[in-house]
Each structure stands twice: as structure tokens, then as C-alpha cells.
Structure 1
Amino acid sequence: MSHRPFHHGNLRTVLLEQAEVVLRERGIDALSLRELAREAGVSHGAPRSHFIDRGALLDALAERGFIRLADRIREAASREPEDHARALHAAASAYLAFAERDPALLDLMFATKVGEPSEAVRGAAERLFGTMTDIMNAGVEAGAYDADDVGRLTLLLSATVQGIAALVTSRRITTPQSEALVDDAIRLFLKGASAG
């Protein structure tokens, strides 16, 4: 009879990393705390010290997803500090790359946000939208649009990129088509903003 330890190292991180692999490879229905414990080599009760139930695990995955996406977008946009259009394109491309790699995680992030999100999920989602707002504020400094338009334009850009990501992840368009759509969207976005 094998003995499974209750703890090992940083169990929360191990469980979340394994949960992302399961989500990516087999989908949300395959996620179970018991199965994650088995794969981590710990007792089936060990995950409960970090996640009271499956819902808490899903919230933690959504939180990590929002934080990682925000960080990737910020990093991508920061590589183009002198050209706002290129910064927007880099941010949108980072969003699409995330969506292509982890479509199930992206779906989970926004599905979790719709219900009664935990405070941690709400804060992580706000971090993503704060990142988008910061990028828009850089556009104000670059003279691309007025400060009064930042909130509206942030929502518009976020919705546009999320829509393009949904088209890619549902295989309605290819990655090269998505890049062309991003180019068109940003061109129209900046043209409309300067006309408004």
C-alpha cells in the first residue's frame, strides 16, 4: 500500500500549474481536485488546504490568467514607447497570443468574471483593464485622442481584441487573418479617435 504525503513543497503552485495543463489539454470538465492531488503525488485531501472546492480552484486559475495577460500586454506595449499605434498593435498581438495558447483559460477568466467573482478575481480583472487604460493614457500623451475619451476607447479596444480572439480560438479565422484584423482595427480606431 502506498502512502501519499499530505504536503509537498509549494503545493498551491504545483496544483495551479497542473490545473492549467489539464485545462489546456483536456478542458474544464477534466479538472478535479482529487485528480490534481493524484498527479501531484499527495493525498486527495491535501488540495483542500489551498482550495476549499473546485470553484475556488477555478477562481485561482482565472486570477492567475488575468494577472499573466495584463503583464504580457504591458510588457508588449512597453517595447514601443515612441509609437502609440505600434504599442496598440503589440498589446493586441500579446492578447491574441495568450488566447491562442490558452483559449480555455481565457474563456474561464471571463466566465468567472460574469458570475459573482471573488475579490481576488475582481482585482485581477481590474488589473487587466487598468493595463489597457494605461496604454490608452499613453495615447493621450502622444496626442492620439483626448483624455475624456480614454474610458470609452479602452472598452472599445478591449471588446475588439476579445472579439478577434474569440474568432481565432473558435477557428473562424486564422492567425494571419487575425493580425490583419488587428491592423485594420487599430487603424480605424486611431482614425475614429482623431476624428472624434
Structure 2
Amino acid sequence: MRRTLLTMPPTPAPAPGPAPAPAPAPAPGQQPSRHTPSARRPYHHGDLRRAVLAAALDVIAADGPSALSLRDLARRAGVSHAAPAHHFKDRTGLLTAIAAEGFGLLASTLNEAADLKDAGVRYVRFAREHPAHFQVMFTPELLRADDLELTTARTLAGDALRGAVSAVRPESLGIDTRLAGVAAWSLAHGFATLLLSHNLDGPVGDKDPEEVFRTLAAMLFRSEPRENP
């Protein structure tokens, strides 16, 4: 038996017509437009990480770290719910990244301090300007303690504060340098924490918190020990 091969009839050639008009050339000095469908991407690698961090800081400032959800942050950033995990793995990773960024910012501002008192003022200012960072940085149970970025940034901030303390040479007054650092940190951190939690609204009132801190620092670090009668 002979098999019959089915073949498609040839497609007729299109009728000749006018050629399509070429795209207009850009004016002299004008760059070609890059707004093509493939170029219109909502985020690239760096943008998404920053967008998630910014959204997380807003949530923390308003409702605290416990309100964080990667799925909710993805919705806020306008990406798939799995996208943030590519940068932070999980919620702990995100909080750790926030803390590391905060310690880096704190180190930068402390390194610019003129003296120990100015370092304390800058510490308080940092807490007021970055309340979400400040809250996460000092809540170790939320963080991945062995994260290299976190430990490096924390060390830089600590070194900056220790440098400001060493500059006043507390050992020349018979004061242990390490304890002097603890005292300076306790004053700045305690004042900032009480300020952010509104526990100083009454005592401070409408006064500039930084000026109040300067006064406190002068009272505590310049006072001479009283002699027993």
C-alpha cells in the first residue's frame, strides 16, 4: 500500500505595498528613549532591598518590631511575597540588617563629635532621628548575634564612643577608662530611651532635649566630689 504524504499548500506571498516608515531619528544631542517594556522594571537588585528596609522602618516606628511581616512588607513594596527573602532570608535577617545599618550610622555621627559632651549630644540626636533603628539595635534577642555586618558595625560604634571618652583622659583623675565609658554611655542611652518613651515630657517640657542633655552632662561630669564635714 502506498502512503499519501499530506503537504500544506504554499503560502501566497504578500501583496506588495508601501514599506513601513522608519522610526524618527533623535534630535541632535538627544538620547534614544529607554522607556521600553523590558526597561520598565519596578525594582532592580539594590532598589528592592532599600524599599523593604524603608518599609520595615516605617512599621517599627509606628507599631514596633513585633508588627513586622515579610509578606506585608512585600505587599508594601509591590513585589511578590517571596522577594524580600532573597535579600534577608527571614524576619531575623531583616532586623539584623536594620541594626547593622543603625550602628553604622551611629559610628559615623560619633566620629564627627568634637568632644565627649558633643558625642553624647550626637547620640541623643541619633536616637531622635532614627527611633526605629535605635529600638532594634539594642534588642539583641531579635538579632542574629554572629552576623559579620552587625558585629563589625557595632564594634565601630563602640570604638567611636571609647575614643571620645579616652580623649578626656579619665585615668588622669584616677577614673578607670572603661568605667568612664560605661558612665558616658549610660547617661546618653538612658536619656535617649526615656526621651523616646515620653517619660521626660513632663521634666523637659518644651525645652530643647539636646540643651537639657548638655546641662546634665555638665552637672555630672564637671562636679567635684564633696568633702565630708
TM-score grouping bracket, smaller chain normalisation: 0.7 to 0.9
Q: Would you say 1:53 and 2:90 are equivalent positions?
A: yes
Report the Cα distance in structure 1 between the residues aligned to 2:141 and 2:214, rounded to whole angstroms: 25
Q: How does 1:116-195 map to 2 (within 5 A)?
A: 117-119=145-147, 120-140=149-169, 145-146=171-172, 149-173=176-200, 174=204, 176=208, 179-191=211-223
CA deviation vs aligned residue, 1:52-102 (integer Å, no higher than 9, x gap): 110110111111111111211222x1xx3xxxxxx2222112111222233
CA deviation vs aligned residue, 1:93-125 (integer Å, no higher than 9, x gap): 211122223334312111127876233323222
Aligned AA for 1:90? D
Report the Cα distance in structure 1 between the residues aligned to 2:80 and 2:71, rounded to whole angstroms: 8
* SS in structure 2 at match of 1:139: coil
Q: RMSD of the TM alignment (CA)? A: 2.8
Report the Cα distance in structure 2 between the residues aligned to 1:96 and 1:135, rounded to whole angstroms: 15
Q: Please, which runs of 5 or more residues in structure 2 have no aligned partner?
A: 1-40
Q: How does 1:20-31 map to 2 (within 5 A)?
A: 20-31=57-68
Q: Looking at secondary structure, tell me which structure has more helix per residue.
A: 1
Q: TM-score, normalised by structure 1?
A: 0.76
Aligned AA for 2:220? L
Aligned AA for 1:184? L
1:8 pairs with one of 33, 36, 44:
44
Q: TM-score, normalised by structure 2?
A: 0.66
User: Which of the pair has more CA radius of gyration?
Assistant: 2
Q: Percent identity?
A: 32
Report the Cα distance in structure 1 between the residues aligned to 2:96 and 2:117, rounded to whole angstroms: 29
CA deviation vs aligned residue, 1:14-40 (integer Å, no higher than 9, x gap): 221222222223332332111221222
Q: Please, which runs of 5 or more residues in structure 1 have no aligned partner?
A: 81-86
